[in-house]
Amino acid sequence: MRCHRSCLVNLRHVRSLHAASGSRYWLVMANGKELPVGRAHVATMRRELALG
């Protein structure tokens, strides 16, 4: 799934979604890497991860 214009992720490897200041979001992957989530992808990402 696309989480940012420069990143594709496998949702099975996503550990959590974190909100930072200024409406910025980050995905934490199972290997500890953090990836940005674009504003256009936040709602879809939350829905796919069943976060509401």
pLDDT tens per residue, range 5-32? 999 999 999 999 999 888 899 999 999 9
Is residue 51 left, alpha or beta, with left meaning phi > 0 and alpha meaning psi from -120 to 50?
A: alpha
pTM surpassing 0.85?
A: no
Closest CA to 29 of 12, 15, 9, 48: 15
pLDDT category at 50 given cuts 50, 70, 90 is: confident
> What CA–CA distance (Å, rounded) separates 45 from 49?
6
Task: Please indicate whether residue 38 or residue 51 has the higher confidence score (pLDDT).
Answer: 38
Per-residue model confidence (pLDDT) at position 46: 92
Please give the domain boundaries of the chain with CATH numbers for all domains: 2-48 (2.40.50)
Q: What secondary structure does DSSP assign to 1-52, as a single string?
A: -EEETTEE--GGGEEEEEEETTTEEEEEETTS-EEEE-GGGHHHHHHHTT--
Per-residue model confidence (pLDDT) at position 51: 72
